[in-house]
């Protein structure tokens, strides 16, 4: 198995020139979220205002949204995402991505591995050149974000790798954030083995901490004041913001740091 995983690592390295053609320049996302002039507002009023990433703020997090589509829609879109990574699936099967969709894969994987719809599509098309199937898929819809959640098994040249993945959507039904964990105890968003779908409020995820994902469009303002402010108070948001400046460079740097260990540690 280790030889197969090493072959996959070599394949990822070979993607570097291809990826650099499309993904080094991150887009700005939603603009115009600068703070309004609060001249004439007394201190008590300012103290009563929510944080910019909270409900009622300029760039709320995704958990303030409620579903605008049917449960079947969220399941269908989640399944389509895995078609983009399955070498044997219809290449025309692509989810309804937001223009600034982001993908975050928790260690031992490579953290920010996609930013922007075009970059995501082209990178995943290239990844499909390495024989991969996602034949085992269990996707469900939920009434709170992330609206789509899946337990799947990837097969890399017939070698299995179990993954848990979540999908955040905006009011238009566009997929705005993708978050993945190895489906292994100790690496999942919850330590409770009975919480199979990470429904507990204590579940640890990034998608509900990124400012902007809770707006109607779900666009992240990568240069906005709110993301900078949230990054000052949360190290994981800061890590995302830093990597989003140069997504492909950070992706490849993380790969060179982790190497073959991501497959050895991330797959059982």
The tens digit of pLDDT for each residue in 15-32 reads 554 444 444 444 544 444
pLDDT at 32: 40
Whole-angstrom Cα distance, residue 117 to residue 245?
A: 16
pLDDT at 263 over 90: no
Average pLDDT over residues 45-63: 86
Does residue 35 lie in a domain region? no
pLDDT at 61 over 70: yes
Number of domains in the chain: 1
Flag the least confident range among 2-6, 34-38, 194-198, 232-236: 34-38
Does residue 31 lie in a domain region? no
Does residue 6 lie in a domain region? yes
Does residue 113 lie in a domain region? yes
Does residue 34 lie in a domain region? no
pLDDT at 224 over 90: yes
pLDDT at 40: 45
Flag the least confident range among 30-39, 108-117, 129-138, 226-235: 30-39
Does residue 36 lie in a domain region? no
Mean pLDDT, the chain, integer: 86
Average pLDDT over residues 197-212: 97
CB 1 within 8 A of CB 159: yes
The pLDDT confidence band at residue 47, using thresholds 50, 70 and 90, is low
**80-110 pLDDT tens trace:** 999 999 999 999 999 999 999 999 999 999 9
> In this predicted model, which residue has the larger pLDDT, 109 or 123?
109
Distance of CA 267 to CAs 1, 62, 181, 183, 260, Å?
10, 29, 10, 8, 11
Nearest to 166 by CA among 175, 158, 155, 157: 175
pLDDT at 151 over 80: yes
Distant-in-sequence, close-in-space partners of 80: CB < 8 Å, separation ≥ 6: 93, 94, 95
pLDDT at 10: 46
Does residue 38 lie in a domain region? no
The pLDDT confidence band at residue 149, using thresholds 50, 70 and 90, is very high
The pLDDT confidence band at residue 55, using thresholds 50, 70 and 90, is very high
Distant-in-sequence, close-in-space partners of 57: CB < 8 Å, separation ≥ 6: 49, 50, 51, 211, 226
Residue 235 sits in a domain whose CATH number is 3.10.450.50
Flag the least confident range among 14-18, 81-85, 120-124, 159-163: 14-18
**pTM score, whole prediction:** 0.84
CB 176 within 8 A of CB 62: yes
Domain assignment of residue 146, given as a range: 2-24+50-189+203-266
Does residue 125 lie in a domain region? yes
């Amino acid at each position: 198995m280790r030889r197969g995983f090493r072959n996959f690592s070599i394949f990822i390295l070979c993607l570097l020139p291809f990826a650099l053609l499309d993904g080094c320049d991150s887009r700005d996302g939603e603009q115009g979220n600068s703070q309004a002039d609060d001249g004439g507002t007394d201190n008590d009023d300012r103290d009563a205002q929510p944080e910019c990433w909270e409900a009622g703020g300029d760039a709320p997090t995704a958990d303030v949204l409620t579903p605008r589509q049917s449960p079947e829609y969220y399941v269908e879109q989640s399944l389509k995402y895995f078609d983009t990574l399955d070498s044997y699936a219809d290449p025309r099967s692509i989810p309804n991505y937001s223009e600034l969709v982001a993908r975050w894969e928790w260690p031992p994987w490579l953290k920010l591995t996609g930013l922007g719809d075009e970059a995501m599509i082209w990178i995943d098309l290239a990844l499909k050149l390495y024989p991969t199937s996602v034949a085992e898929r269990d996707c469900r819809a939920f009434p709170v974000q992330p609206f789509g959640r899946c337990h799947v098994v990837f097969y890399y040249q017939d070698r299995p790798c179990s993954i848990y993945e979540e999908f955040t959507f905006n009011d238009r039904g566009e997929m705005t954030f993708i978050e993945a964990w190895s489906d292994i105890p100790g690496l999942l968003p919850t330590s409770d083995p009975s919480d199979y779908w990470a429904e507990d409020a204590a579940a640890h995820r990034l998608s509900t901490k990124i400012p902007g994902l809770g707006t109607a469009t779900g666009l992240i303002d990568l240069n906005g004041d709110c993301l900078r402010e949230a990054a000052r108070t949360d190290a994981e948001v800061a890590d995302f913001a830093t990597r989003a400046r140069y997504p492909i460079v950070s992706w490849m740097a993380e790969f060179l740091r982790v190497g073959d260990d991501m497959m050895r540690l991330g797959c059982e």
